[in-house]
Amino acid sequence: MNCIVIDDEELSRKSIEHCIKQSDFLNLKMSFDSPIKALSYLQTNKIDLIFLDIEMPEMTGIEFIKTLKINVPQIILATSHPEFALEAFEYTVTDYLIKPLTFSRFFKSVSKAKEIFDNQQSFSAESDDFFIKKGTSIIRINKSEILWVEASGDYAILNTRKEKFMVHSTMKSIEDKLPMKDYLRVHRSYIVRIDKIDCIEDDAISYDKKLIPIGKTYKEEVYKRLNLLT
Amino acid sequence: MNTSDPNDNLKQNYSNKLKRIDLSYLKDFANGDNAFIVEMIDAFASQTPEELNLISSALENKNWKTVRAVAHKMKPSITFMGISELKEVVVLILEYSSKEISLELIPELVNKFKTICNEAIKELEIEKKLYL
């Protein structure tokens, strides 16, 4: 998990960094003495977990949380004021640590964060929906609506019954996101939805009015996957 | 039979001389990482004089908000360096400056704070050599 530390006090920062280094699933990306600097960093970097001090001069940890809108990372608050912990519950924070820290308490917190992180990871692979950029908007499409995917240079074209969506992606990464029990890679440039196949003739799949070739290297695997009654 | 290491005596005498600091929490926390102990001592020694200047000038200007903010910010370092005498001093400074009560007592507390910090830094410079 990629994480950052935000704390205006140097020794506090160093002590959290020290704990992070001892937790092998945590990867410290940056440490900030000011939440303002962290905000601009977060605009261009994907972070999974933030260790956040509450009382800082320019902007408090709570104010910082309020500015986060999209892709909000998990947050673990660190404070020397136990009374702030109550307010923290109004915001979705993973946990809060009371300073002075101990490694065992720290580890308990980050283990909880790791568990949530792992759940989110598997959820995104298993989720039924895709979010796709179309022009200036981002739209949701259900994965089952995708009939076939065609590679086109650095792009993949997702074909639904109604329309086509062009996404900047490799075929491999599309394969990783689709439920491959329902789909089949039939060619270097094609993935098809198995239950929409009409017929196969001369190693080409007839799909509505479209013919999709079956690649030589994929042939054996394709025929194995199809429930062929002979 | 008592075959105590003569070094133990030396260490004991040495520790007895440490009046202000107690690094047991820091040592525990470091979990065998001596470089971390040195790093923390260095950070304390370099940032504390700046903080002390800041609190002194805030005091002169009767800027209680800054007095409070600086005292608050120094709390973690005081804990790490185990300067137990300072804990109470800081609590009082925080209490008086935030509520703006007993303000006439703050200068004396800040003086005490500075004296103890400076002594602690001297002790830390010697103690640090054990971890280099």
pLDDT of residue A122: 59
Determine contact: B113 vs chain A, CB below 8 A.
Answer: no
pLDDT in tens, A198-207: 888 888 888 7
Chain B residue whose CA is closest to A12: B76
Tokens of B124: 């830390």
* pLDDT one-digit tens code per residue, A48-99: 999 999 988 889 998 999 898 767 899 999 988 777 777 776 777 899 999 8
Chain A residues in contact with chain B using a Cβ-Cβ cutoff of 8 Å: 8-12, 14-15, 18, 22, 55, 57, 80, 99-103
Mean pLDDT of chain B: 89
For the residues B5-34, what does the mean pLDDT come to?
76
Extract long-range pairs of A173-180: CB within 8 Å, 24+ residues apart: A174/A149, A176/A125, A177/A125, A177/A130, A177/A143, A178/A143, A178/A146, A178/A149, A179/A126, A179/A143
**Residue A163 has what pLDDT?**
85
Does the pLDDT at position A124 exceed 90? no
Which of B31, B69, B72 is nearest residue A103 as measured by Cβ atoms? B31
Mean pLDDT of B65-92: 94
Taking CA atoms, B63 is separated from B57, B67, B68, B100, in Å, by: 8, 6, 9, 10
% of chain A residues with pLDDT over 90: 40
Q: Is the pLDDT score of A121 beyond 80?
A: no
> Which residues have C-beta within 8 Å of that of residue A227, sequence separation ≥ 6?
none
- Between A39-48, A98-107, A132-141, B45-54, the lowest mean confidence (pLDDT) is in A132-141
Closest partner residue to A10 (CB to CB) among B36, B43, B69 is B43
Q: What is the pTM of this model?
A: 0.68
| Position A135 pLDDT exceeds 80 | no
